[in-house]
Amino acid sequence: MIKPRALKSKDRVALIAPASRPTKPSALKRAERIVHDMGFVPVVGAHALDTHGAMAGDDQARLSDIVTALEDDSIAAIWCLNAGYGSIRLLKDLPYDTFAKKPKIVIGCDDNSHLLLALNQKSKVVTFHGSNLDRIDSKDAFDRFKKLLTSADHFPAMQVKDKFLSDFCYSPVNAVGKGRIVAGNLTALVSLFGTPYEPDLSGSVLLLEDRSERNDILDRWFTTLYISNKLSTVAALGLGQFEDCSTKGSFNMLSFEELVADRVTEMKLATCFNLPFGQACENAVVPLGLQVSFNTEKGHLAYLESALS
Amino acid sequence: MNTANELVNIQKPQVLKKGDTVGLIAPSSPQFEPGNLQFATDWLTKMGLHFKLGANSSKSYSSYAGSDSARAEDFHALWSDDTITAVLPMRGGAGATRILPKLDFPLFEQKPKILVGFSDITALLIAINQKSNLVTFHGPTVGLMFETAYTHSHYQKAIMGISPIGLVADPPADLDESTDSTHSTLPWGSSYPPTRMVISAGKGRGRLTGGCLTLIRGLMGTPYEIDCDDRIVFLEDVDEEPHNIDRILTQMVLAGKFDRARGIIIGDCSGCKPGGSKRNVLPLNASLEVMLREHFSNLGIPVIYGLKLGHTPDKVTLPLGIMASLEVTRSSTGSSTSASTGNSDSFSVKFNIEEAACVDKTQSFKK
């Protein structure tokens, strides 16, 4: 796995919108300010505020912003401004070889998960699942993101935390799984199934999250993982934050936890819930492709190697 | 997965006749209320049919009609029953995909029967069509087969007839062969989309496959993934945001699903407009029509949008695995009663289901 270099003060960071555009001009200005205050130089994609339906410009415009940033040696990192929809439409034209030759930090989440998963799978470069810039809204997160992106040290271990019970973790199957970490948005991951960009899940430690979805829809995509016979090849499964996911007014639904647990229990797949993995900035930044050791009983995931060089 | 050649030997089920018995199952979600079942069974009685009910069909687990094992058990029990000609799901909803790994596909091949449904039932239709080499039917679940005369007449033609199904007409033309444009059954006013909006002209011929996009997506990358090679592919969904449909279509494009397709028929897709899902709404979202034109205008195969199939009260019954042709040609007359278009050009659209979907094995020497 190729590791990008850690950021230094005054490094240029491209801010792009591979999916939807920022909802308003202030969202873009605010993102620039955050990156600036971290000590980097923000470089906004030429088409970040374009419109093409819900997307930040047509495919050519959005592609041009990401390709420009990937090819430009003076750009040290790419940080996605926000999610929405549209990054999957760029996958067939991304310069995967260029990215392998010129690795750099690419960070984002939600719809941008398509990019992170495809770039990691095709270019064998570590990519970073972390809040899009529009979700950075605390001093704690600001400090933590800055520290993580500027150091070649091992990322700190991820630990399930309950607000009250410090050592509480719900784990339907207790075991330790070791493998290469694949982490992403459940909807995005399943959207890559059957395509040349589908991540290799065999032997992996798989982390999933999603947002604003109904339990039965989440179960549809989890079912796809299950019936594909790929879930049975996974070393361990971690369910992260399913922000704003619920029965959404349907009266007849069990929790997503139960719908997942009935199958992982039957499969004896090491699994735990409520990992600090998701889209909000209090969650961990997760580097895709690293070797990890995951103890589901304790809800503890440790990195066996560093993420950045 | 089947190739086009293997499909030449696809099995057609025995035609359903008056006096026959049908099996009613709930492979997805349960009936809303017991009273919903009564509507369906009253209609079956009117049609001269008897019925048997799956033993577990009134159970429930989350939004599913009982556990995966219970639902699969009912499916196998009724399919194994030699007195039953057709297995009719009572409702879609959610959950059919969950039972696929538990299904006995050789059983469906050994005892070919009629299976009809749509929406969530798509998972069963595609899996059984491909893995059991059997014609399956995308049409109303048993509780909806009497919603409109159009729906009912297509349903009967497909599963109770052994003549070629023929040209698919639009409602209400099917009910009224009169050419008198003042006839009272003609609809007045407009609705969107028109039933035959042309996305791309051309001619194509192939066996039918397709169904609800959400379900087709759920099968991608699994052993039950849809095979679109040499097929006329019909697609529909309901109450989804256009960008959610676009994500599925992009996935299918990336997977090469339309590279060797012979034609595409997009259904009415009711409620698939920006804000239609009441969840995941995106500002400035484009319409489904815009996205369809982006993906399908230049594939070199005929593509139409708006046919009544799936989640509309009017729905045609489409047999997966049966040979059909789609001809979209520029009309020289300048206007045509059989064509509606998305632009100022005028087209003639002919969608023909070339074969019968059922056989009558009780009549010897007739196939």
Are residues A119 and A167 located together in one domain of the fold? Answer: no
Judged by CB atoms closer than 8 Å, whether chains meet at A227 and B280 is answered as no
Judged by CB atoms closer than 8 Å, whether chains meet at A223 and B247 is answered as no
Residues of chain A found within 8 Å of residue B292, distances taken between Cβ atoms? none
Query: Which member of A23, A220, A254 has the closest CB to residue B218?
Result: A220
Query: Which member of B94, B219, B286 has the closest CB to residue A54?
Result: B286
Considering A87, A116, A149, which residue would you say is the last residue of a domain?
Answer: A149
Residue A114 lies in a domain: yes
Q: Centre a 10 Å sphere on the Cβ of residue B332 and count the other Cβ atoms it contains.
A: 8
Tens digit of each residue's pLDDT, chain B (367 residues)? 444 444 568 999 999 999 999 999 999 999 888 888 998 999 999 999 999 999 999 999 999 999 999 999 999 999 999 999 999 999 999 999 999 999 999 999 999 999 999 999 999 999 999 999 999 999 999 989 999 999 999 999 999 999 999 999 998 754 444 445 555 555 667 789 999 999 999 999 999 999 999 999 999 999 999 999 999 999 999 999 999 999 999 999 999 999 999 999 999 999 999 998 887 899 999 999 999 999 999 999 999 999 999 999 999 999 999 999 999 999 865 444 444 444 557 899 999 999 999 999 987 554 4
Span A164-192, average pLDDT: 97
Specify the pLDDT at position B343: 52
Residues of chain B found within 8 Å of residue A53, distances taken between Cβ atoms? 242-243, 284-286, 290-291
How far apart are the C-alpha atoms of A59 and A141, rounded to whole Å? 32
Judged by CB atoms closer than 8 Å, whether chains meet at B243 and A86 is answered as yes
State both tokens at B130: 């491909």
How far apart are the C-alpha atoms of A219 and A242, rounded to whole Å? 12
Specify the pLDDT at position B5: 46
B34 part of contact set with chain A, CB < 8 Å: no
Residue A2 lies in a domain: no
Are residues A103 and A169 located together in one domain of the fold? Answer: no
Our CA-based measurement puts residue B106 at a distance from the nearest CA of chain A, in whole angstroms, of: 18
B8 part of contact set with chain A, CB < 8 Å: no
Residues of chain A found within 8 Å of residue B33, distances taken between Cβ atoms? none
Specify the pLDDT at position B9: 83
Reply yes or no on whether the pLDDT at A137 is more than 70.
yes
Q: Which residues contact A78 (CB under 8 A, 6 or more apart)?
A: A13, A14, A16, A66, A69, A70, A104, A105, A106, A107
State both tokens at A113: 């998960």
DSSP category for residue B236? E
How far apart are the C-alpha atoms of B44 and B19, rounded to whole Å? 10
Chain centre to alpha carbon of residue A63: 20
Whether residue B349 contacts residue B328, with contact meaning beta carbons closer than 8 Å, is answered with yes
Whether residue A291 contacts residue A178, with contact meaning beta carbons closer than 8 Å, is answered with yes
Query: Which member of A91, A212, A213 has the closest CB to residue B254?
Result: A91
How far apart are the C-alpha atoms of B318 and B100, rounded to whole Å? 22
Percent of chain A with pLDDT over 90: 97
Judged by CB atoms closer than 8 Å, whether chains meet at B251 and A258 is answered as no
Residues of chain A found within 8 Å of residue B224, distances taken between Cβ atoms? 227
The whole domain housing A139 covers: 12-149
Task: Dump pLDDT digits (tens) for A186-245.
Answer: 999 999 999 999 999 999 999 999 999 999 999 999 999 999 999 999 999 999 999 999
Judged by CB atoms closer than 8 Å, whether chains meet at A92 and B218 is answered as no
CA R_g for chain B: 20
Instruction: Note if B6 is an active site residue.
Output: no
3-state helix, strand, coil in chain B (%, to 5): 30, 20, 50
Residue A308 lies in a domain: no
Q: Centre a 10 Å sphere on the Cβ of residue B17 and count the other Cβ atoms it contains.
A: 13
Instruction: Note if B311 is an active site residue.
Output: yes
Are residues A214 and A295 located together in one domain of the fold? Answer: yes
Can you give the CATH number for the domain in which A87 is found?
Answer: 3.40.50.10740
Are residues A74 and A144 located together in one domain of the fold? Answer: yes
Picking from B231, B291, B289, B238, the residue whose alpha carbon sits closest to that of residue B264 is: B231
Residues of chain A found within 8 Å of residue B282, distances taken between Cβ atoms? 20, 54, 84-85
Query: Which member of A86, A197, A228 has the closest CB to residue B254?
Result: A197
Residue A120 lies in a domain: yes
Judged by CB atoms closer than 8 Å, whether chains meet at A224 and B221 is answered as yes
- For residue B155, what are the CA distances in angstroms to A87, B140, B152, B170? 41, 8, 5, 14
Q: Does domain B4-159 have CATH number 3.30.1700.10?
A: no
Are residues A142 and A180 located together in one domain of the fold? Answer: no
Task: Dump pLDDT digits (tens) for A98-115.
Answer: 999 999 999 999 999 999
- For residue B242, what are the CA distances in angstroms to B218, B270, B288, B303? 18, 11, 5, 18
Q: Centre a 10 Å sphere on the Cβ of residue B344 and count the other Cβ atoms it contains.
A: 5
Size of interface A-B (CB pairs under 8 A): 116
Residue A5 lies in a domain: no
- For residue A188, what are the CA distances in angstroms to A198, A236, B245, B274? 10, 19, 13, 20
Are residues A170 and A34 located together in one domain of the fold? Answer: no
**What are the extents of the domains in chain B?**
4-159, 166-353
State both tokens at B164: 């070629």
The single residue of B29, B119, B200, B348 carrying the catalytic annotation is B119
Q: What is the mean pLDDT of chain A?
A: 97
In the β-sheet with A158-159, what is the strand arrangement from edge to edge?
A: A158-159, A300-303, A291-295, A176-185, A205-211, A236-243, A271-272
* Segment 275-294 of chain B within 8 Å of chain A by CB: 279-280, 282-286, 290-291
Query: Which member of A193, A216, A219 has the closest CB to residue B220?
Result: A193
How far apart are the C-alpha atoms of A294 and A168, rounded to whole Å? 16
Judged by CB atoms closer than 8 Å, whether chains meet at B254 and A253 is answered as no
Considering A95, A114, A149, which residue would you say is the last residue of a domain?
Answer: A149
Are residues A108 and A86 located together in one domain of the fold? Answer: yes
Residues of chain A found within 8 Å of residue B60, distances taken between Cβ atoms? 252
How far apart are the C-alpha atoms of A100 and B285, rounded to whole Å? 34
Residues of chain A found within 8 Å of residue B222, distances taken between Cβ atoms? 193, 224, 227-229
Picking from A300, A258, A292, A306, the residue whose alpha carbon sits closest to that of residue A276 is: A300
How far apart are the C-alpha atoms of B256 and B251, rounded to whole Å? 9
Are residues A36 and A103 located together in one domain of the fold? Answer: yes
How far apart are the C-alpha atoms of A87 and A66, rounded to whole Å? 10
β-pairing, A291-295 vs A176-185, is: antiparallel
Coil/strand/helix, residue B293: helix
Are residues A167 and A283 located together in one domain of the fold? Answer: yes
The residues pairing with A75 across neighbouring beta strands, listed in sequence order, are: A12
b/e per residue, A162-171, with b = 16+ CB within 10 A?
eeeeeeebeb
What sign for the dihedral angle of Cα A148, A149, A151, A157?
A: positive
Please name the residue of chain B whose CA is at the shortest distance from the CA of residue A90. B250
Residue A284 lies in a domain: yes
Specify the pLDDT at position B300: 97
Enumerate helices (H) and strands (E) in chain B, giving the number of each: 9, 14
Task: Dump pLDDT digits (tens) for A21-61.
Answer: 999 999 999 999 999 999 999 999 999 999 999 999 999 99
Instruction: Note if B177 is an active site residue.
Output: no
Judged by CB atoms closer than 8 Å, whether chains meet at A190 and B217 is answered as yes
Considering A149, A166, A189, which residue would you say is the last residue of a domain?
Answer: A149
The single residue of B138, B154, B295, B311 carrying the catalytic annotation is B311
How far apart are the C-alpha atoms of B324 and B326, rounded to whole Å? 7
Specify the pLDDT at position B2: 45
Picking from A216, A35, A51, A247, the residue whose alpha carbon sits closest to that of residue A133 is: A35
b/e per residue, A204-231, with b = 16+ CB within 10 A?
bbbbbbbbebbbbbbbbbbbbbbbbebb
Whether residue A276 contacts residue A163, with contact meaning beta carbons closer than 8 Å, is answered with no
- For residue A171, what are the CA distances in angstroms to A11, A93, A223, A284? 42, 40, 19, 19
Query: B166-353 sits in which CATH class?
Result: alpha beta
Residue A54 lies in a domain: yes
DSSP chain A: -B-PPPP-TT-EEEEE-SSBPPSSHHHHHHHHHHHHHTT-EEEE-TTTT--BTTBSS-HHHHHHHHHHHHH-TTEEEEEE---SS-GGGGGGG--HHHHHHS--EEEE-GGGHHHHHHHHHHH-B-EEE---GGG---HHHHHHHHHHHT--SPPPPEE---SS-TT----SB--EEEEEEEEEEHHHHHHTTTSTT----TT-EEEEEEES-BHHHHHHHHHHHHHTT-GGG-SEEEEEEEET-B-TT-SS---HHHHHHHHHHHHT--EE---S-SSSTTSPPEEET-EEEEETTTTEEEESS-S--
Picking from B140, B93, B84, B90, the residue whose alpha carbon sits closest to that of residue B114 is: B84
Residue A267 lies in a domain: yes
Coil/strand/helix, residue B345: coil
Query: Which member of B61, B254, B279 has the closest CB to residue A196?
Result: B254
Q: Centre a 10 Å sphere on the Cβ of residue A100 and count the other Cβ atoms it contains.
A: 14
Number of domains in chain A: 2
Are residues A164 and A299 located together in one domain of the fold? Answer: yes
Are residues A243 and A117 located together in one domain of the fold? Answer: no
Whether residue A224 contacts residue B221, with contact meaning beta carbons closer than 8 Å, is answered with yes
Specify the pLDDT at position B366: 46
Residues of chain A found within 8 Å of residue B97, distances taken between Cβ atoms? 220, 223-224, 227
